[in-house]
Structure 1
C-alpha cells in the first residue's frame, strides 16, 4: 500500500526518481523487459515504494501501451510514487540517456560502425540480457502460479504455445489474453452475485 508523502519529502523523492530512472536507462541494455527487474530492485525491494502486484500490473500496462516499454514503465512508476511531477521527471530521466548516447554515436557513426571491440561488447551483452529476461519471466510466472488460479495457470502456457510454436503476433496474444481475462472476470462476478 502506498504511503502519503509529505511536501517536505517530495523534493528528495523527485531527485531520487530522476537519478534512479536516469541510472536504469543509462545502464540497462536490451529493451523494456530488462528494465522490469531493475524497477523491481529499486522501487519494490530497496525503497518499498511499490508492491510486487502493482509492478506486474504496471508492466502489463506499459507493454500494451504505445511507446517504449521502459519509458512507459518509468512514467507509471513515477506517477504511482510521486504523482504527475514524478511521472514527468521519470519520463525525462528515462529518455535522456538514450538521447545523449545516440547523439554521441551519430556524431561518430563511421568509427563505431566497423569497430570490432564495440561489436564484441554488444554481442556479449546479449547473453546478459537473455538471462535477465528469463529471470523476469520466471518471477512473473511464479507469482501468478502462487495465486493458485487455474485460469491463469492455463493461460500462460497457451500464450507461450501461441507465440513460440504458432508464431502468432504478440499484440494479438496480448489482446486475446486481455479479452479472456475480462471475460473470466465477468463470469466470476456473475457467480458471486448469483
Structure 2
C-alpha cells in the first residue's frame, strides 16, 4: 500500500506541475526542487541541477525530460512511465481546449493581462535557476567556465550572436581545455 501511495503522489505531483507551470521547461526546475528536494528530500539540489542539464541537452521538451528523469530517480522504470504520462496529459488538454476557442482567448483583455503577469513570474523563476546553475559553475573553480558564462551572455545579448555558434565555441573551448589538461597530466 505504501508503494501505491507513493506512485499516486508521483502521478498527482506531475499532473500538478505540468498543469500549473507556464513559461517553458526552466520553470519546472523550481517546482521539482520544491516538491522533490525540499518537501520530500528524494534527491539533492545538486542532483536536480545535473538532471536539469541532462534534460536540457536531450531531445524533446525540457519539462517532460526533467519530470521523467526525476521519476526515474525516485521510482525506477515505473516512475518513468508515470511521470511521462502525467506530464503530457495537461498540456494536451489545455492546448486542445484553447485551440477550440483561440479567437475568444486572443481577443479577451483579461486573458491577455493574466498572460502578461505570468511573463513576470516566469522571468523570475528562470533567473532563479540561472543563478543556481552559475553558483554550481563557481563551485567547480574553473577559470574557463567562469570566463565562458559572461562571454556567452555578452555575445548573445549585445552582439545578437546565434546560440548555436556560442554553444559550438563553448564546446570547442572545453574540449581543447580538457585535452590539454590530460596531455599535461600524462607527461
Same fold judged by TM-score > 0.5? yes
Tell me what 1:4 maps to: none
Does 1:170 pair with 2:163? yes
> 3-state DSSP class of the match of 1:135?
helix
C-alpha deviations, 1:63-106, integer Å up to 9, x for none? 12221111111111111221221111111111111111112212
Identify the range of structure 1 (18-27 vs 172-181) with the bigger mean alpha-carbon deviation.
172-181
> 3-state DSSP class of the match of 2:59?
coil
C-alpha deviations, 1:93-127, integer Å up to 9, x for none? 11111111112212222321211110111011111
C-alpha deviations, 1:151-189, integer Å up to 9, x for none? 221121122122222323324433443444344444444
Distance in 2 (CA, whole Å) between partners of 1:47 and 1:69 is 22
Give the drift of 1:35.
0.9
Aligned positions, number = 187
For structure 1, the residue ranges without an aligned partner over 5 or more in a row are 1-7
Q: TM-score w.r.t. structure 1 length?
A: 0.85
Tell me what 1:77 maps to: 70
Distance in 2 (CA, whole Å) between partners of 1:18 and 1:10 is 12
Does 1:90 pair with 2:93? no
Tell me what 2:146 maps to: 153
> 3-state DSSP class of the match of 1:167?
coil
Distance in 2 (CA, whole Å) between partners of 1:185 and 1:52 is 26
Does 1:35 pair with 2:28? yes
Q: TM-score w.r.t. structure 2 length?
A: 0.88
Does 1:126 pair with 2:119? yes
Distance in 1 (CA, whole Å) between partners of 2:80 and 2:175 is 28
Question: What is the RMSD of the two structures over their aligned residues, measured on CA atoms?
Answer: 2.1
For structure 2, the residue ranges without an aligned partner over 5 or more in a row are none
Does 1:105 pair with 2:98? yes
